[in-house]
């Protein structure tokens, strides 16, 4: 029991360490920190305020939403209080007749704040109403109505943009937790499974990968995040995928692949991160989205194969069983890519010899 608890603790610490050090998390967030950003760069976030508000969390948006209304209500409430004070309409100034006031029944700061709220939110006036006696008050009234309309429309657009963000749609696209390496059609392949759990189609789907690793150039330069292109394919090809059911992506490990020098016994000792991208367009909204995930060496299983996930019923209807989405089974696989290709070349070597085009047979006479 103690050993199992200790092993569980070690596994949790290992997973935490992997999560902390990986560049892209399993749910697609980039784990990178910016340091020593100059003030001018920070100012760019304020100049592009629309994008900043769309990207920040909902808690900050709701805080700024509430603050923008409260601040404008209070500022214009002070203006209405100043107008009433300047005209002698406040209660402590003993106005002769409230009907001759700039704003009827604005006799204090609280009343001025309530009148400001009623003006900006277009609430029908009850006890408080503006008169035609003060041109300055009419000017402030027009300015507040215009500003209130702008603020309402602006925040309405921000909320609509955040609700319709394509990354919300991307949450319905899932990758397998593990990748596998096995044989496929007389080739050694790295396989990944991806699925769209919504019935709405994703069109124009493109899938590709990047192998992130640290390399040292012949000149001695160390490249911390060297990116190597990884091509993924499915049965139907590489482009214009029909993403109606879960797909199994595969990368052929040939002599040009960065996985060619790896083997089953040293794969988990390697230092790299495989980042997989899926770019697509949602059918209903026509918004493009990108889904990302990553695999570290400990999440790649050599000599395993995914279980079948699509079956067909007696009625001829296709059925997707997501219980087998991430399940794998062991399968006979070559120890390394070099061994696989060497065995394949020996297997396909002709057993009847080779043809020598320069050989010529002639007859000779016996002496």
Domain end residue (candidates: 163, 197, 226): 163
pLDDT band at 2 (very low <50, low <70, confident <90, very high): low
Are 241 and 205 in contact, with CB atoms under 8 Å apart? yes
In a domain, 37, yes or no: no
Q: Give yes or no: residues 199 and 156 share one domain.
A: no
Q: What is the pTM of this model?
A: 0.68
- Three-class HEC string of 50-85: HHHHHHCCHHHHHHHHHHHHHHHHHHHHHHHHHHHH
Q: Give yes or no: residues 193 and 330 share one domain.
A: yes
In a domain, 1, yes or no: no
Q: Which CATH number fits the domain that encloses residue 195?
A: 2.60.40.1400
Question: What is the percent of the chain where pLDDT is above 90?
Answer: 19
pLDDT per residue over 196-242, tens digit each? 888 777 887 888 899 988 888 888 788 888 888 998 888 665 556 77
In a domain, 156, yes or no: yes
In a domain, 130, yes or no: yes
- Check residue 337 and report its DSSP letter: H
Are 99 and 115 in contact, with CB atoms under 8 Å apart? no
Mapping DSSP to helix (H, G, I), strand (E, B) and coil, where does residue 229 land? strand
Q: Give yes or no: residues 141 and 178 share one domain.
A: no
Question: What is the percent of the chain where pLDDT is above 70?
Answer: 80
Q: Give yes or no: residues 292 and 333 share one domain.
A: yes
Q: Give yes or no: residues 198 and 110 share one domain.
A: no
Query: Residue 148, CB half-sphere, CA atoms under 13 Å: how many?
Result: 20
Q: Give yes or no: residues 84 and 184 share one domain.
A: no
Alpha-carbon torsion (248, 252, 257, 263), positive or negative: positive
Q: Give yes or no: residues 334 and 190 share one domain.
A: yes
Q: Give yes or no: residues 312 and 218 share one domain.
A: yes
Domain end residue (candidates: 126, 141, 163): 163
Q: Give yes or no: residues 123 and 186 share one domain.
A: no
In a domain, 248, yes or no: yes
Longest Cα–Cα distance of the chain, Å, equals: 153
Domain end residue (candidates: 163, 198, 231): 163
In the predicted structure, residue 326 carries a pLDDT above the cut 70 = yes
In a domain, 353, yes or no: no
Which of 141, 133, 169, 135 minimizes the C-alpha distance to 278? 169
CA distance readout (Å), 43 to 19, 33, 48, 51, 218: 31, 18, 9, 13, 40
Are 292 and 28 in contact, with CB atoms under 8 Å apart? yes
In a domain, 209, yes or no: yes
258: burial class by Cβ within 10 Å (0-12, 13-18, 19+)? middle
In a domain, 95, yes or no: yes
Mean pLDDT across the stretch 294-302?
91
**Distance separating alpha carbons of residues 256 and 258, to the nearest angstrom:** 7
pLDDT band at 344 (very low <50, low <70, confident <90, very high): low
pLDDT per residue over 232-277, tens digit each? 888 665 556 777 888 888 999 888 888 888 888 888 888 889 999 9
Looking at 105-146, which runs of residues are DSSP E strands? 129-130
Other beta carbons within 10 Å of 193:
23
Q: Which CATH number fits the domain that encloses residue 78?
A: 1.10.287.70
CA distance readout (Å), 69 to 123, 128, 141, 161, 183: 15, 20, 16, 20, 63
Task: Identify the domain containing residue 90 by its residue range.
Answer: 58-163
Q: Give yes or no: residues 239 and 139 share one domain.
A: no
In the predicted structure, residue 147 carries a pLDDT above the cut 90 = yes
Which residues touch 115 (CB under 8 Å, ≥6 apart)? Answer: 77, 80, 103, 106, 128
38: burial class by Cβ within 10 Å (0-12, 13-18, 19+)? exposed
- Number of domains, the chain: 2
**Distance separating alpha carbons of residues 247 and 250, to the nearest angstrom:** 10
Q: Give yes or no: residues 219 and 116 share one domain.
A: no
Considering only residues 122 and 17, tell me which one the structure prediction assigns the higher pLDDT.
122
Considering only residues 361 and 314, tell me which one the structure prediction assigns the higher pLDDT.
314
228: burial class by Cβ within 10 Å (0-12, 13-18, 19+)? middle
Q: Give yes or no: residues 198 and 338 share one domain.
A: yes
């Amino acid at each position: 029991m103690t050993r199992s608890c200790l092993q569980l603790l070690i596994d949790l610490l290992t997973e935490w360490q992997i999560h902390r050090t990986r560049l892209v998390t399993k749910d697609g967030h980039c784990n990178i920190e910016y340091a020593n950003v100059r003030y001018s760069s920070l100012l760019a976030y304020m100049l592009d305020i629309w994008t900043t508000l769309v990207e920040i969390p909902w808690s900050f948006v709701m805080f700024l939403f509430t603050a923008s209304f409260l601040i404008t209500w209070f500022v214009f409430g002070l203006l209405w209080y100043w107008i009433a004070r300047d005209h002698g309409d406040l209660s402590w100034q003993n106005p002769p007749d409230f009907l001759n006031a700039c704003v009827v029944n604005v006799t204090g700061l609280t009343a001025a704040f309530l009148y400001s709220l009623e003006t900006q939110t277009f609430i029908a006036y009850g006890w408080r109403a503006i008169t035609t006696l003060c041109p300055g008050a009419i000017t402030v009234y027009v300015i507040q109505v215009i500003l209130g309309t702008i603020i309402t429309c602006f925040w309405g657009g921000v909320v609509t943009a955040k609700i319709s963000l394509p990354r919300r749609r991307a949450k319905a696209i899932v990758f397998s937790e593990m990748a596998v390496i096995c044989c496929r059609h007389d080739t050694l392949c790295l396989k990944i499974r991806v699925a769209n759990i919504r019935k709405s189609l994703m069109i124009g789907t493109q899938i590709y990968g990047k192998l992130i690793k640290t390399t040292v150039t012949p000149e001695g330069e160390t490249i911390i995040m060297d990116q190597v292109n990884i091509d993924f394919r499915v049965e139907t090809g590489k482009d214009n995928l029909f993403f109606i059911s879960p797909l199994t992506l595969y990368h052929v490990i040939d002599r040009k692949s960065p996985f060619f020098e790896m083997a089953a016994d040293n794969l988990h000792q390697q230092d790299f991160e495989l980042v997989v991208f899926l770019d697509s367009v949602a059918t209903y909204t026509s918004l493009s989205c990108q889904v990302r995930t990553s695999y570290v060496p400990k999440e790649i299983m050599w000599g395993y194969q995914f279980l079948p996930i699509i079956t067909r019923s007696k009625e001829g209807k296709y059925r997707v069983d997501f219980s087998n989405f991430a399940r794998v089974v062991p399968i006979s696989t070559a120890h390394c890519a070099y061994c696989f290709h060497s065995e394949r070349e020996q297997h396909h070597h002709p057993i009847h010899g080779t043809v020598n085009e320069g050989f010529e047979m002639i007859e000779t006479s016996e002496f």
